[in-house]
Structure 1
Amino acid sequence: MSKPISIEGSIQNNFDRIYVTYYSRMLRFAREYVLFEEDAENVVQDVFLLLWEKREVLDIQISLVSYLFSLVKNRSLDYLRHKVVAEEYKQELTFKLLALEQLNYTFTSEEDIEKVIANAIDKLPERCREIFLKSRIEGMKYREIADELDISMNTVENQMSIALRKLRIELKDYLPLLLFLISVK
Protein backbone atom coordinates (compact mmCIF):
# COMPACT_ATOMS: atom_id res chain seq x y z
CA MET A 1 0.00 0.00 0.00
CA SER A 2 1.35 3.41 -0.91
CA LYS A 3 2.19 6.06 1.60
CA PRO A 4 -0.49 8.81 1.90
CA ILE A 5 0.35 11.92 -0.04
CA SER A 6 0.99 15.02 1.95
CA ILE A 7 -0.78 18.02 0.51
CA GLU A 8 1.62 20.43 2.06
CA GLY A 9 2.58 22.78 -0.68
CA SER A 10 0.18 23.03 -3.52
CA ILE A 11 -2.08 20.46 -5.10
CA GLN A 12 -0.65 21.68 -8.37
CA ASN A 13 2.80 20.32 -7.46
CA ASN A 14 1.36 16.98 -6.35
CA PHE A 15 -1.57 16.58 -8.75
CA ASP A 16 0.01 13.84 -10.87
CA ARG A 17 0.86 11.79 -7.79
CA ILE A 18 -2.60 12.39 -6.30
CA TYR A 19 -4.26 11.27 -9.53
CA VAL A 20 -2.14 8.12 -9.90
CA THR A 21 -2.46 7.21 -6.23
CA TYR A 22 -6.21 7.71 -5.78
CA TYR A 23 -7.88 7.37 -9.18
CA SER A 24 -8.47 3.59 -9.05
CA ARG A 25 -9.80 3.72 -5.46
CA MET A 26 -12.20 6.52 -6.36
CA LEU A 27 -13.31 4.62 -9.47
CA ARG A 28 -14.09 1.46 -7.45
CA PHE A 29 -16.02 3.59 -4.95
CA ALA A 30 -18.04 5.37 -7.67
CA ARG A 31 -18.75 2.08 -9.47
CA GLU A 32 -20.49 0.74 -6.35
CA TYR A 33 -23.15 3.41 -6.70
CA VAL A 34 -23.18 4.48 -10.32
CA LEU A 35 -23.00 0.88 -11.63
CA PHE A 36 -21.79 1.46 -15.20
CA GLU A 37 -18.05 1.70 -15.71
CA GLU A 38 -18.21 4.59 -18.15
CA ASP A 39 -20.46 6.64 -15.88
CA ALA A 40 -18.24 5.93 -12.86
CA GLU A 41 -15.23 7.05 -14.88
CA ASN A 42 -17.03 10.28 -15.78
CA VAL A 43 -17.86 10.92 -12.11
CA VAL A 44 -14.25 10.40 -11.03
CA GLN A 45 -12.90 12.45 -13.94
CA ASP A 46 -15.23 15.28 -12.92
CA VAL A 47 -13.89 15.10 -9.37
CA PHE A 48 -10.27 15.29 -10.49
CA LEU A 49 -11.11 18.06 -12.94
CA LEU A 50 -12.71 20.01 -10.09
CA LEU A 51 -9.66 19.36 -7.94
CA TRP A 52 -7.41 20.69 -10.70
CA GLU A 53 -9.57 23.73 -11.45
CA LYS A 54 -9.79 24.71 -7.77
CA ARG A 55 -6.18 23.78 -6.94
CA GLU A 56 -5.15 27.34 -6.13
CA VAL A 57 -8.03 28.10 -3.78
CA LEU A 58 -8.64 24.77 -2.07
CA ASP A 59 -8.01 24.66 1.63
CA ILE A 60 -8.60 21.04 2.57
CA GLN A 61 -9.02 20.71 6.33
CA ILE A 62 -9.48 16.93 6.35
CA SER A 63 -7.39 14.16 4.88
CA LEU A 64 -7.11 14.23 1.11
CA VAL A 65 -8.57 10.75 0.73
CA SER A 66 -11.60 11.71 2.86
CA TYR A 67 -12.03 14.83 0.77
CA LEU A 68 -11.86 12.83 -2.47
CA PHE A 69 -14.34 10.22 -1.21
CA SER A 70 -16.69 13.03 -0.22
CA LEU A 71 -16.42 14.62 -3.67
CA VAL A 72 -17.02 11.29 -5.42
CA LYS A 73 -19.98 10.55 -3.16
CA ASN A 74 -21.55 13.95 -3.92
CA ARG A 75 -20.93 13.66 -7.67
CA SER A 76 -22.42 10.17 -7.63
CA LEU A 77 -25.52 11.48 -5.85
CA ASP A 78 -25.86 14.28 -8.40
CA TYR A 79 -25.50 11.78 -11.23
CA LEU A 80 -28.12 9.42 -9.75
CA ARG A 81 -30.58 12.28 -9.15
CA HIS A 82 -30.12 13.37 -12.74
CA LYS A 83 -30.76 9.79 -13.94
CA VAL A 84 -34.02 9.67 -11.94
CA VAL A 85 -35.25 12.93 -13.49
CA ALA A 86 -34.18 11.80 -16.96
CA GLU A 87 -36.00 8.47 -16.50
CA GLU A 88 -39.20 10.26 -15.41
CA TYR A 89 -38.94 12.48 -18.48
CA LYS A 90 -38.37 9.44 -20.68
CA GLN A 91 -41.47 7.76 -19.22
CA GLU A 92 -43.54 10.88 -19.89
CA LEU A 93 -42.33 10.96 -23.50
CA THR A 94 -43.12 7.25 -23.87
CA PHE A 95 -46.64 7.89 -22.54
CA LYS A 96 -47.15 10.71 -25.04
CA LEU A 97 -45.81 8.58 -27.89
CA LEU A 98 -48.15 5.73 -27.00
CA ALA A 99 -51.08 8.13 -26.72
CA LEU A 100 -50.31 9.49 -30.17
CA GLU A 101 -49.95 6.02 -31.64
CA GLN A 102 -53.22 4.86 -30.09
CA LEU A 103 -55.13 8.00 -30.99
CA ASN A 104 -58.40 7.10 -32.58
CA TYR A 105 -58.98 9.13 -35.74
CA THR A 106 -62.46 7.77 -36.39
CA PHE A 107 -64.17 10.91 -35.20
CA THR A 108 -66.26 12.30 -38.00
CA SER A 109 -67.41 15.44 -36.21
CA GLU A 110 -67.06 17.58 -33.12
CA GLU A 111 -70.25 15.95 -31.88
CA ASP A 112 -68.43 12.60 -31.73
CA ILE A 113 -65.69 14.17 -29.65
CA GLU A 114 -68.21 15.90 -27.40
CA LYS A 115 -69.97 12.56 -26.92
CA VAL A 116 -66.72 10.93 -25.76
CA ILE A 117 -66.11 13.79 -23.33
CA ALA A 118 -69.72 13.73 -22.07
CA ASN A 119 -69.49 9.98 -21.46
CA ALA A 120 -66.28 10.46 -19.49
CA ILE A 121 -67.87 13.24 -17.41
CA ASP A 122 -70.94 11.06 -16.79
CA LYS A 123 -68.68 8.40 -15.25
CA LEU A 124 -67.54 10.81 -12.53
CA PRO A 125 -69.02 10.40 -9.03
CA GLU A 126 -72.09 12.60 -8.61
CA ARG A 127 -70.60 15.31 -6.36
CA CYS A 128 -67.40 15.36 -8.39
CA ARG A 129 -69.36 15.72 -11.65
CA GLU A 130 -71.54 18.50 -10.22
CA ILE A 131 -68.50 20.53 -9.07
CA PHE A 132 -66.63 19.90 -12.32
CA LEU A 133 -69.58 21.07 -14.45
CA LYS A 134 -70.07 24.20 -12.35
CA SER A 135 -66.40 25.06 -12.69
CA ARG A 136 -65.61 24.11 -16.28
CA ILE A 137 -68.95 24.39 -18.05
CA GLU A 138 -70.70 27.14 -16.11
CA GLY A 139 -67.44 29.01 -15.45
CA MET A 140 -68.01 29.43 -11.72
CA LYS A 141 -65.10 30.19 -9.41
CA TYR A 142 -64.26 27.74 -6.61
CA ARG A 143 -65.47 30.21 -3.96
CA GLU A 144 -68.84 30.57 -5.75
CA ILE A 145 -69.24 26.80 -5.96
CA ALA A 146 -68.35 26.38 -2.29
CA ASP A 147 -70.89 29.04 -1.28
CA GLU A 148 -73.65 27.66 -3.51
CA LEU A 149 -73.18 24.06 -2.36
CA ASP A 150 -72.45 25.05 1.24
CA ILE A 151 -69.12 23.20 1.30
CA SER A 152 -65.56 24.29 1.98
CA MET A 153 -63.17 25.60 -0.67
CA ASN A 154 -60.89 22.69 0.22
CA THR A 155 -63.66 20.24 -0.69
CA VAL A 156 -64.16 21.96 -4.05
CA GLU A 157 -60.42 21.84 -4.75
CA ASN A 158 -60.19 18.16 -3.76
CA GLN A 159 -63.22 17.21 -5.87
CA MET A 160 -61.82 19.08 -8.88
CA SER A 161 -58.50 17.30 -8.44
CA ILE A 162 -60.28 13.94 -8.37
CA ALA A 163 -62.37 14.85 -11.42
CA LEU A 164 -59.37 15.97 -13.46
CA ARG A 165 -57.37 12.88 -12.51
CA LYS A 166 -60.25 10.54 -13.46
CA LEU A 167 -60.89 12.39 -16.72
CA ARG A 168 -57.20 12.29 -17.60
CA ILE A 169 -57.25 8.51 -17.15
CA GLU A 170 -60.57 8.05 -18.96
CA LEU A 171 -59.56 10.25 -21.90
CA LYS A 172 -55.88 9.24 -22.10
CA ASP A 173 -56.26 7.79 -25.60
CA TYR A 174 -57.83 11.02 -26.81
CA LEU A 175 -55.57 13.47 -24.99
CA PRO A 176 -53.50 14.69 -27.98
CA LEU A 177 -56.64 15.36 -30.04
CA LEU A 178 -58.37 17.09 -27.15
CA LEU A 179 -55.33 19.30 -26.53
CA PHE A 180 -55.33 20.23 -30.22
CA LEU A 181 -59.02 21.12 -30.15
CA ILE A 182 -58.63 23.21 -27.01
CA SER A 183 -55.79 25.19 -28.58
CA VAL A 184 -57.76 25.78 -31.82
CA LYS A 185 -60.85 27.21 -30.10
Structure 2
Amino acid sequence: MLAEKKILSDNFEEIYVSYFSRMKYFALEYLLSEEDAENIVQDVFTELWEKREILTYNVNLVALLFTSIKNRCIDLLRHRVVVQEAVSLIQQEYQATLRVKLASLELFDQSMLSEQDIERIITEVIDSLPEKCREIFIKSKIEGKKQKDIAAELNISLKTVENQMNIAYKKIKIELKDYLPLLIFLFAN
Protein backbone atom coordinates (compact mmCIF):
# COMPACT_ATOMS: atom_id res chain seq x y z
CA MET A 1 0.00 0.00 0.00
CA LEU A 2 2.79 2.43 0.90
CA ALA A 3 4.67 1.54 -2.26
CA GLU A 4 1.50 2.18 -4.30
CA LYS A 5 1.12 5.64 -2.73
CA LYS A 6 4.77 6.42 -3.53
CA ILE A 7 4.21 5.37 -7.17
CA LEU A 8 1.05 7.54 -7.34
CA SER A 9 2.91 10.46 -5.79
CA ASP A 10 5.83 10.13 -8.21
CA ASN A 11 3.41 9.66 -11.09
CA PHE A 12 1.45 12.76 -10.09
CA GLU A 13 4.60 14.86 -9.83
CA GLU A 14 5.62 13.71 -13.30
CA ILE A 15 2.17 14.61 -14.68
CA TYR A 16 2.25 18.01 -12.97
CA VAL A 17 5.66 18.90 -14.39
CA SER A 18 4.74 17.63 -17.85
CA TYR A 19 1.34 19.28 -18.20
CA PHE A 20 1.13 22.36 -15.98
CA SER A 21 2.60 24.89 -18.42
CA ARG A 22 0.59 23.48 -21.37
CA MET A 23 -2.63 23.61 -19.39
CA LYS A 24 -1.87 27.14 -18.20
CA TYR A 25 -1.25 28.26 -21.78
CA PHE A 26 -4.55 26.67 -22.84
CA ALA A 27 -6.46 28.48 -20.06
CA LEU A 28 -4.70 31.74 -20.87
CA GLU A 29 -6.06 31.58 -24.42
CA TYR A 30 -9.57 32.10 -23.01
CA LEU A 31 -8.95 34.11 -19.87
CA LEU A 32 -7.65 37.66 -19.79
CA SER A 33 -5.47 37.21 -16.75
CA GLU A 34 -2.42 35.03 -16.26
CA GLU A 35 -3.29 34.85 -12.56
CA ASP A 36 -6.77 33.48 -13.35
CA ALA A 37 -5.30 30.92 -15.74
CA GLU A 38 -2.74 29.80 -13.19
CA ASN A 39 -5.36 29.57 -10.43
CA ILE A 40 -7.66 27.44 -12.56
CA VAL A 41 -4.88 25.06 -13.59
CA GLN A 42 -3.69 24.86 -9.99
CA ASP A 43 -7.25 24.04 -8.86
CA VAL A 44 -7.55 21.29 -11.47
CA PHE A 45 -4.26 19.73 -10.38
CA THR A 46 -5.28 20.01 -6.73
CA GLU A 47 -8.49 18.16 -7.54
CA LEU A 48 -6.51 15.56 -9.48
CA TRP A 49 -4.22 15.10 -6.48
CA GLU A 50 -7.20 14.62 -4.17
CA LYS A 51 -8.56 11.98 -6.58
CA ARG A 52 -5.16 10.57 -7.56
CA GLU A 53 -6.41 6.98 -7.38
CA ILE A 54 -7.98 7.76 -10.77
CA LEU A 55 -4.44 7.59 -12.15
CA THR A 56 -4.42 3.83 -11.52
CA TYR A 57 -7.21 3.43 -14.09
CA ASN A 58 -6.85 3.64 -17.82
CA VAL A 59 -8.00 7.26 -18.32
CA ASN A 60 -7.24 9.70 -21.07
CA LEU A 61 -5.35 12.11 -18.83
CA VAL A 62 -4.94 14.84 -21.45
CA ALA A 63 -8.67 14.84 -22.23
CA LEU A 64 -9.48 14.88 -18.51
CA LEU A 65 -7.20 17.87 -17.88
CA PHE A 66 -8.36 19.86 -20.92
CA THR A 67 -12.03 19.19 -20.14
CA SER A 68 -11.65 20.17 -16.49
CA ILE A 69 -9.81 23.38 -17.38
CA LYS A 70 -12.27 24.21 -20.16
CA ASN A 71 -15.23 23.80 -17.77
CA ARG A 72 -13.63 25.95 -15.08
CA CYS A 73 -12.82 28.64 -17.65
CA ILE A 74 -16.45 28.60 -18.82
CA ASP A 75 -17.68 28.94 -15.23
CA LEU A 76 -15.32 31.84 -14.53
CA LEU A 77 -16.20 33.66 -17.76
CA ARG A 78 -19.94 33.22 -17.17
CA HIS A 79 -19.55 34.61 -13.67
CA ARG A 80 -17.57 37.58 -14.95
CA VAL A 81 -20.21 38.31 -17.63
CA VAL A 82 -22.99 38.29 -15.00
CA VAL A 83 -20.99 40.57 -12.71
CA GLN A 84 -20.15 42.95 -15.57
CA GLU A 85 -23.81 43.11 -16.65
CA ALA A 86 -24.87 43.92 -13.07
CA VAL A 87 -22.26 46.67 -12.82
CA SER A 88 -23.37 48.06 -16.17
CA LEU A 89 -27.02 48.09 -15.06
CA ILE A 90 -26.14 49.90 -11.84
CA GLN A 91 -24.12 52.46 -13.82
CA GLN A 92 -27.03 52.99 -16.23
CA GLU A 93 -29.46 53.55 -13.34
CA TYR A 94 -27.03 55.97 -11.70
CA GLN A 95 -26.60 57.89 -14.97
CA ALA A 96 -30.39 58.05 -15.44
CA THR A 97 -30.76 59.45 -11.91
CA LEU A 98 -28.08 62.04 -12.61
CA ARG A 99 -29.82 63.07 -15.85
CA VAL A 100 -33.15 63.51 -14.02
CA LYS A 101 -31.51 65.59 -11.30
CA LEU A 102 -29.67 67.70 -13.87
CA ALA A 103 -32.86 68.30 -15.85
CA SER A 104 -34.69 69.21 -12.65
CA LEU A 105 -32.05 71.73 -11.69
CA GLU A 106 -31.94 73.18 -15.18
CA LEU A 107 -35.72 73.68 -15.14
CA PHE A 108 -35.70 75.23 -11.70
CA ASP A 109 -35.06 78.94 -11.72
CA GLN A 110 -35.12 80.37 -8.22
CA SER A 111 -35.41 83.93 -9.41
CA MET A 112 -38.71 83.14 -11.12
CA LEU A 113 -40.27 81.80 -7.94
CA SER A 114 -41.27 84.31 -5.37
CA GLU A 115 -42.16 83.35 -1.85
CA GLN A 116 -45.84 83.53 -2.86
CA ASP A 117 -45.18 81.20 -5.81
CA ILE A 118 -43.48 78.68 -3.53
CA GLU A 119 -46.35 78.84 -1.03
CA ARG A 120 -48.92 78.47 -3.82
CA ILE A 121 -47.18 75.44 -5.33
CA ILE A 122 -46.77 73.75 -1.95
CA THR A 123 -50.38 74.54 -0.97
CA GLU A 124 -51.69 73.07 -4.24
CA VAL A 125 -49.69 69.89 -3.72
CA ILE A 126 -50.78 69.53 -0.09
CA ASP A 127 -54.41 70.23 -1.06
CA SER A 128 -54.21 67.42 -3.62
CA LEU A 129 -53.53 64.85 -0.87
CA PRO A 130 -56.39 62.65 0.37
CA GLU A 131 -58.21 64.23 3.32
CA LYS A 132 -56.84 62.10 6.19
CA CYS A 133 -53.37 62.07 4.66
CA ARG A 134 -53.45 65.87 4.27
CA GLU A 135 -54.63 66.36 7.87
CA ILE A 136 -51.83 64.18 9.26
CA PHE A 137 -49.23 65.82 7.02
CA ILE A 138 -50.26 69.34 8.07
CA LYS A 139 -50.18 68.41 11.76
CA SER A 140 -46.72 66.93 11.35
CA LYS A 141 -44.95 69.29 8.97
CA ILE A 142 -46.76 72.59 9.37
CA GLU A 143 -47.88 72.44 12.99
CA GLY A 144 -44.69 70.57 14.00
CA LYS A 145 -46.41 67.86 16.05
CA LYS A 146 -44.78 64.52 16.75
CA GLN A 147 -46.27 61.47 15.11
CA LYS A 148 -47.19 59.82 18.43
CA ASP A 149 -49.04 63.00 19.46
CA ILE A 150 -50.92 63.06 16.15
CA ALA A 151 -51.90 59.41 16.63
CA ALA A 152 -53.23 60.15 20.12
CA GLU A 153 -55.06 63.32 18.98
CA LEU A 154 -56.76 61.59 16.04
CA ASN A 155 -57.29 58.35 17.96
CA ILE A 156 -55.42 56.25 15.37
CA SER A 157 -52.39 54.00 15.57
CA LEU A 158 -48.87 55.31 15.20
CA LYS A 159 -48.47 52.89 12.27
CA THR A 160 -51.39 54.59 10.49
CA VAL A 161 -49.73 57.97 10.97
CA GLU A 162 -46.44 56.60 9.61
CA ASN A 163 -48.20 55.03 6.61
CA GLN A 164 -50.11 58.23 5.83
CA MET A 165 -46.90 60.28 6.05
CA ASN A 166 -45.20 57.86 3.65
CA ILE A 167 -48.11 58.22 1.22
CA ALA A 168 -47.87 62.01 1.51
CA TYR A 169 -44.10 61.99 0.92
CA LYS A 170 -44.47 59.82 -2.17
CA LYS A 171 -47.25 61.94 -3.67
CA ILE A 172 -45.48 65.20 -2.90
CA LYS A 173 -42.22 63.90 -4.30
CA ILE A 174 -43.97 63.00 -7.56
CA GLU A 175 -45.77 66.34 -7.76
CA LEU A 176 -42.67 68.39 -6.96
CA LYS A 177 -40.18 66.38 -9.04
CA ASP A 178 -39.40 69.46 -11.12
CA TYR A 179 -38.90 71.55 -7.99
CA LEU A 180 -36.15 69.70 -6.13
CA PRO A 181 -35.22 72.73 -4.02
CA LEU A 182 -38.87 72.96 -2.91
CA LEU A 183 -38.69 69.37 -1.71
CA ILE A 184 -35.61 70.21 0.30
CA PHE A 185 -37.37 73.28 1.70
CA LEU A 186 -40.51 71.29 2.55
CA PHE A 187 -38.83 68.29 4.17
CA ALA A 188 -36.00 70.12 5.93
CA ASN A 189 -37.96 70.30 9.20
- Please report the RMSD computed on the Cα atoms of aligned residues, expressed in angstroms: 3.0
1:153 matches 2:158: yes
Q: 1:174 to 1:73 in 2, by over 3 A?
A: same
Whole-angstrom distance in 2 between the partners of 1:167 and 1:183: 10
**2:25 counterpart letter in structure 1:** D
Deviation at 1:135, TM superposition (A): 1.4
Match of 1:13 in 2: 21
Unmatched tracts of structure 1, length 5 or more: 1-6, 24-43
Whole-angstrom distance in 1 between the partners of 2:129 and 2:183: 18
Q: Is the 8 A contact 2:118 2:182 kept in 1?
A: no
Whole-angstrom distance in 1 between the partners of 2:166 and 2:92: 25
Q: Is the 8 A contact 2:107 2:178 kept in 1?
A: yes
Deviation at 1:59, TM superposition (A): 2.4
**1:132 counterpart letter in structure 2:** F
Match of 1:95 in 2: 100
**2:108 counterpart letter in structure 1:** L
Match of 1:59 in 2: 43
Work out the number of aligned pairs and report it: 153
Q: Is the 8 A contact 1:103 1:177 kept in 2?
A: no
Deviation at 1:11, TM superposition (A): 8.2
Whole-angstrom distance in 2 between the partners of 1:140 and 1:127: 15
Q: 1:122 to 1:9 in 2, by over 3 A?
A: farther
Using structure 1 for the length normalisation, give the TM-score: 0.69
Q: 1:19 to 1:11 in 2, by over 3 A?
A: farther
Deviation at 1:178, TM superposition (A): 4.8
**1:16 counterpart letter in structure 2:** Y
The Cα offsets for residues 109-145 of structure 1, whole Å up to 9 and x where unpaired, read as 3232122111111111111111111111222222222
Give the number of the structure whose alpha-carbon radius of gyration is greater: 2
1:85 matches 2:90: yes
Q: 1:73 aligns with which of 69, 75, 78?
A: 78
Using structure 2 for the length normalisation, give the TM-score: 0.67
SS in 1 for 2:156: coil
